[in-house]
């Protein structure tokens, strides 16, 4: 066959394939809601019809003898039957995989965690199944986290309500006694009322601070801060309260260690950690507050007590708002600091994060240790 004849045959085959392809596209358009198996069978049938049509045109143009055409059409029919069977099998496999993925998506929607991606007929479905499984795990973790936050919020509301109700009831009782003239020592009642008001004011301040932290409205006034001086000030402030409970409060650290921080907020961090240790430490036990430079050139403030440690199951909840290590509902007020609402450590974490740092807690022999890691120059600066 000459090149000219080959070009004619090729043009005939191309024309037939284009026509059959266009017709197939129209059919597939009308079958857009049909089963994937039928659509694959249409594609396989279109390929066979294109070949058979090209052969028939070639025979019409006398490029193929009738005998050869019969042989070629027989081969095309057999190949077409096999192609249709393979297309049907592939379609059923794809449909089965798609149904598995649909079921997996439904389980995700019903908060049911997927165990794994499963086996699929091709990499694309397998990758999609793996992604659905990963999404399921992330959603499960998110739901668990949201549930913990919601439970913490409920506990916080309940505890705040209890802690506010207690001083309010005391103030009301003392006010009624004063009104009725039943108070034998009015001056003592006035002092107690002021103490209760200070307690409630401290809790309100804690709530306001936590609200500013969570809303992102906490603004730091950064300046050079000597950690040794800051720790010394906190020890001097809380020393009398520690002594009243026979607790040895000791400050230590590197004198030359200076960082860029908000001195007021950072003082609150150290004060809350020390108050937390004082409130839970037995009489006669020591509390050590120190500051030193870490190996990576940043700063670390440590508060170590001998309060017996924290149960391992509760270590992950220490910094949740409203969490408390005991069933006590009575806040300490001897220092003028509030601490009974369960917000102190949550505030500590929020302030440390605002300084681009982190705070961790771990049990040590006889007690626990809080470590605050701070960069010398926070990213927020």
User: How far from chain centre, in Å, is Cα 124?
Assistant: 28
In the numeric block, which tokens belong to residue 317?
């909840």
In the numeric block, which tokens belong to residue 219?
């603004």
* 3-class SS of residue 210: helix
Instruction: Give the pLDDT score at 370.
Output: 95
Q: How many domains does the chain have?
A: 2
Which is nearest to 292 in space by CA: 174, 212, 373, 361? 373
Q: State the alpha helices, DSSP H only, in 36-122.
A: 36-60, 66-109
Which is nearest to 218 in space by CA: 103, 348, 102? 348
State whether 101 and 216 are in the same domain: no
State whether 108 and 210 are in the same domain: no
Query: Does 76 reside within a domain?
Result: yes
In the numeric block, which tokens belong to residue 67?
């005998």
State whether 341 and 225 are in the same domain: yes
Residues in the chain: 381
CA angle 118, 120, 125 (to 5 degrees): 100
Query: Does 262 reside within a domain?
Result: yes
What phi and psi values does residue 183 have, to the nearest 5 degrees? -80, 120
Query: Does 275 reside within a domain?
Result: yes
State whether 350 and 245 are in the same domain: yes
Query: Does 81 reside within a domain?
Result: yes
Instruction: Give the pLDDT score at 62.
Output: 66
State whether 239 and 370 are in the same domain: yes
State whether 351 and 209 are in the same domain: yes
State whether 96 and 227 are in the same domain: no
Query: Does 136 reside within a domain?
Result: no
The residue from 81, 112, 143 where one domain ends is 112
Query: Does 295 reside within a domain?
Result: yes
This prediction's pTM: 0.57
Instruction: Give the pLDDT score at 113.
Output: 59
Give 101-107 contacts, CB < 8 A, sequence gap 24+. Answer: 101/125, 101/128, 101/129, 101/132, 104/129, 104/132, 104/133, 104/136, 105/132, 107/136
* Burial readout 199-224 (b: 16 or more C-beta within 10 A, e: otherwise): bbebbeebbebbeebeeeebebebee
The residue from 112, 147, 173 where one domain ends is 112
Query: Does 208 reside within a domain?
Result: yes
Instruction: Give the pLDDT score at 267.
Output: 93
- pLDDT tens digit at each of 381 positions of the chain: 567 767 777 787 778 778 878 888 888 788 777 777 777 787 878 787 877 777 777 777 666 667 766 766 777 777 777 777 777 777 777 777 777 777 777 777 666 655 555 555 556 667 777 777 777 778 878 888 788 777 777 777 777 777 778 788 888 888 988 888 887 788 888 888 888 888 888 888 888 888 888 777 888 889 999 999 999 999 999 999 999 899 999 998 888 899 999 999 999 999 999 998 998 899 989 999 999 998 888 999 999 999 888 888 888 888 877 666 554 323 444 444 444 456 888 889 999 999 999 999 999 998 999 999 999 887 654
In the numeric block, which tokens belong to residue 338?
């509030």
Query: Does 257 reside within a domain?
Result: yes
Domain containing residue 212: CATH number: 3.30.565.10
24: domain range? 3-112
């Amino acid at each position: 066959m000459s090149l000219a004849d080959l070009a004619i045959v090729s043009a005939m085959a191309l024309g037939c394939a284009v026509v059959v392809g266009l017709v197939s596209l129209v059919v597939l358009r009308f079958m857009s809601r049909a089963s994937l198996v039928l659509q694959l069978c249409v594609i396989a049938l279109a390929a066979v019809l294109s070949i058979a049509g090209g052969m028939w045109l070639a025979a019409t143009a006398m490029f193929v003898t009738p005998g050869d055409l019969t042989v070629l059409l027989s081969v095309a029919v057999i190949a077409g039957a096999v192609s249709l069977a393979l297309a049907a099998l592939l379609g059923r496999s794809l449909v089965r995989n798609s149904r598995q993925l649909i079921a997996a998506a439904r389980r995700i929607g019903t908060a049911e965690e997927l165990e794994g991606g499963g086996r699929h007929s091709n990499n694309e479905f397998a990758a999609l199944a793996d992604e659905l499984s990963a999404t399921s795990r992330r959603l499960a973790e998110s739901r668990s986290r949201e549930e913990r936050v919601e439970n913490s919020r409920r506990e916080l509301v309940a505890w705040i309500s209890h802690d506010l109700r207690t001083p309010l009831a005391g103030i009301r009782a003392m006010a009624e006694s004063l009104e009725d003239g039943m108070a034998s020592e009015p001056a003592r009642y006035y002092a107690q009322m002021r103490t209760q008001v200070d307690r409630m004011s401290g809790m309100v301040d804690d709530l306001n601070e936590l609200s500013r932290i969570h809303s992102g409205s906490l603004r730091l006034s950064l300046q050079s801060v000597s950690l040794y001086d800051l720790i010394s000030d906190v020890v001097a402030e809380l020393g009398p309260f520690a002594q009243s409970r026979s607790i040895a409060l000791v400050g230590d650290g590197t004198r030359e260690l200076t960082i860029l921080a908000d001195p007021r907020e950072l003082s609150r961090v150290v004060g809350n950690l020390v108050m937390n240790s004082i409130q839970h430490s037995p009489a006669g036990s020591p509390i050590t507050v120190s500051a030193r430079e870490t190996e990576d050139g940043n700063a670390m403030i440590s508060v170590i007590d001998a309060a017996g440690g924290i149960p391992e199951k509760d270590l992950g909840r220490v910094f949740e708002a409203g969490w408390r290590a005991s069933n006590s509902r009575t806040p300490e007020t001897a220092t003028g600091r509030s601490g009974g609402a369960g917000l102190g450590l949550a505030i500590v974490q929020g302030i440390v994060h605002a300084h681009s740092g982190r705070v961790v807690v771990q049990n040590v022999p006889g007690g626990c240790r809080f470590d605050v890691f701070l960069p010398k120059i926070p990213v927020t600066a």
